[in-house]
Structure 1
Amino acid sequence: MIKVNDVSKKFHEIQALDSVTTSIQEGHIFGLLGSNGAGKSTFLRILSGVLKPDSGTVFIDEMPVFENPKAKSEICFLADTAYFLPNATPAVMRDYYAELYEKFDKEEFNHLAEKFHIDMKRRITTLSKGMKKQLSVLLGTCTKTKYLFCDETFDGLDPVMRQAVKSLFASEVMEREFTPVIASHNLRELEDICDHVGLLHQGGILFMKDLEEMKFHIHKVQCVLNNSLDEEEVLKELDVLQTEKRGSLLTIVARGTSMEILDCIESRKPLFAEVLPLSLEEIFISETEVAGYGITDFLY
């Protein structure tokens, strides 16, 4: 388990992190969302023990992470721009990682490299951005560390490779003790893989929630009611996050189960009513607007 308590970090006049307190449960795929400059990379580097916070504490499995080799042995951090040895090939990086990480699985790396069509003898400098990203992910996964921190993992990957990496992470979670933390500025990249999500904004955690619980307790309904009085009563009774009116069609995003929301509307004998699916992006927009932020201003 990862525990972060009141962590702050400042670079000259820039407050990268401001009193961040949170925890990340093990055995889940955690998505860390935020725009560029929100503090995601700094947060991951502090979790990895690469950076020391100005204040606050970070514990990995109840061990302080900074300058602690035992804690760091359970962590692999994949930066947005991966580092490779000069003139190295994938085979050279495989052997290098095997020296650094005691549990590195060379056999699995060779197997995955073949599946991902990575030429083990080709110089990495000649690979495309997407191929370098794939190689970085395979190296990180094969370290067999308990925690894998990924900064913009899917950036540069085509749709097929994104899905392949997601499947790889899901398989690892099911087969061993494995907790990937994936930082991204793109909601759509994380929607179909993460169990839990958190939003980092202006150096602070805006909220952290279970994704399925969020989807279960927030719904969007379109309806046509008989008159404006019915509309006013429905909006008063429901825990409304957003509303939109186009002609006679009223769209409501509200907290509650779909049955609770529909029962409230159906009691007014509407001309029409149906529940619509909500995307992760729509859920986050609703939650952040309630918290006083316009997510569309800093996430896309």
Structure 2
Amino acid sequence: MNVNISGLTKVYGKKRALDGITLQLEENKIYGLLGRNGAGKTTLMQILAGQIMPTGGSVLINSQKPFENQEITESICLINESENFKKGLKIKDILKIANYFYPNWNRETAEKLLEDFYLNENLKIKTLSKGMESALGITVGLASRSPITIFDEPYIGLDAAARSKFYDLLLEEYEEYPRTLILSTHLIDEITRLLEEVLIVSEGRLLMQKNTDELREESFVVNGSSAAVSEFVKNKNVVYRKSFGSMEQAVLYGENRMEANEAGLQVEHVPVQDLMVYLTAKPKGGVSA
């Protein structure tokens, strides 16, 4: 399912949560939706899932608006950070409801994931730990096989081993049943290997939408003497700079790393998480919105 968002805004009182976002998402691709707290990520995902209405602009999924459109909302599964399930229900009740709601629901996948996460169908939601509830959300999201599946901080409470298992299961399921996957998380470096495209949001605006491999190639760190680094970064897009004694470090975005090598500077990879922090830093980031 193709997604076209144009001039999207959402206002809550005096707060502008989204401010004219325009982007396109292709089907059967894994996207990372990144940004700081309060950037507008959750609002964007909720509008995309048809849970809330935008104030302005448009969201079209296969040329249809998602809000109050059952045909579209049945094709979208949004797993929120918390409060996905009613506390009085049992896990088996949740699976039964999901089976009715999601046309592509796969019971075998759900049972496998419950086994992988050591979840008993007879447990009540109110008795689950935070990690167990996150594991149930992951189970429902992947087993829904929705053409658009969205995870908003899906693994709160999961330890590193359980998160690693989630990444492996997600890739397995995506390979078997391709779909559009949107992941929003603060554990960016953990998921970078999964992402085909990165979207960075800051203060309700889209800073960038970039292929992950291109983003890695176009962002880098240079280290060298202060004089050499200062000379190299002239008229270049520097998103972070730090001096220590007679040495200096600079992070650049959208530049040619071969030039840095030719200038005799030490060139290093910059993690996507660090780059996001630099680009969204106040008072300025390296990319204008």
TM-score above 0.5, yes or no: yes
Counterpart residue number, 1:262: 261
How far apart, CA to CA, are the structure 2 residues paired with 1:144 and 1:233?
52
How far apart, CA to CA, are the structure 1 residues paired with 2:163 and 2:131?
10
How far apart, CA to CA, are the structure 1 residues paired with 2:15 and 2:236?
41
Counterpart residue number, 1:298: none
Counterpart residue number, 1:13: 14
**Residues 10, 256 of structure 1: CA spacing in aligned structure 2 closer, same or farther, 3 A cutoff?**
closer
> Match of 2:97, SS?
helix
How far apart, CA to CA, are the structure 1 residues paired with 2:29 and 2:193?
13
Q: Deviations 1:232-268 (Å, cap 9, x if unpaired)?
A: 54333765444333223232323434333111x13xx
Written as runs of structure 1 = structure 2, the 5 A alignment for 1:26-45 is 26-45=27-46
Alpha-carbon distance, 1:145 to partner:
0.7
Structure 1 runs of 4+ with >6 Å offset: none
Q: Does the 8 Å CA contact 1:195/1:210 hold for their aligned counterparts? A: yes
Alpha-carbon distance, 1:278 to partner:
1.3
Is structure 2 residue 270 aligned with structure 1 residue 278? yes
Counterpart residue number, 1:83: 84
Counterpart residue number, 2:234: 236
Counterpart residue number, 1:251: 249
Of the structure 1 ranges 33-42 and 234-243, higher mean CA displacement relative to structure 2 is found in: 234-243
Q: Does the 8 Å CA contact 1:214/1:283 hold for their aligned counterparts? A: no
Of the structure 1 ranges 181-190 and 12-21, higher mean CA displacement relative to structure 2 is found in: 181-190
How far apart, CA to CA, are the structure 1 residues paired with 2:225 and 2:192?
30
Q: Does the 8 Å CA contact 2:200/2:208 hold for their aligned counterparts? A: yes
Of the structure 1 ranges 98-107 and 247-256, higher mean CA displacement relative to structure 2 is found in: 247-256
Number of residues of Structure 1 aligned to a counterpart in Structure 2: 285
Q: Deviations 1:264-287 (Å, cap 9, x if unpaired)?
A: x13xxxxxx432221112322444
TM-score by structure 2 length?
A: 0.88
Counterpart residue number, 2:179: 178
Question: Which structure 2 residue ranges, 5 or more long, are not aligned?
Answer: none
**Residues 239, 136 of structure 1: CA spacing in aligned structure 2 closer, same or farther, 3 A cutoff?**
closer
Q: Does the 8 Å CA contact 2:223/2:229 hold for their aligned counterparts? A: no
TM-align CA RMSD: 2.5
Is structure 2 residue 64 aligned with structure 1 residue 102? no
Alpha-carbon distance, 1:294 to partner:
8.8
**Residues 150, 237 of structure 1: CA spacing in aligned structure 2 closer, same or farther, 3 A cutoff?**
closer
**Residues 223, 112 of structure 1: CA spacing in aligned structure 2 closer, same or farther, 3 A cutoff?**
same
Q: Deviations 1:43-90 (Å, cap 9, x if unpaired)?
A: 111101111112211111232212222222211111221332443222
Of the structure 1 ranges 239-248 and 208-217, higher mean CA displacement relative to structure 2 is found in: 239-248
How far apart, CA to CA, are the structure 2 residues paired with 1:207 and 1:102?
33
Of the structure 1 ranges 72-81 and 193-202, higher mean CA displacement relative to structure 2 is found in: 193-202
TM-score by structure 1 length?
A: 0.85
**Residues 19, 240 of structure 1: CA spacing in aligned structure 2 closer, same or farther, 3 A cutoff?**
closer
How far apart, CA to CA, are the structure 1 residues paired with 2:266 and 2:208?
29
Counterpart residue number, 2:219: 218
Q: Does the 8 Å CA contact 1:76/1:140 hold for their aligned counterparts? A: yes
Alpha-carbon distance, 1:131 to partner:
0.4
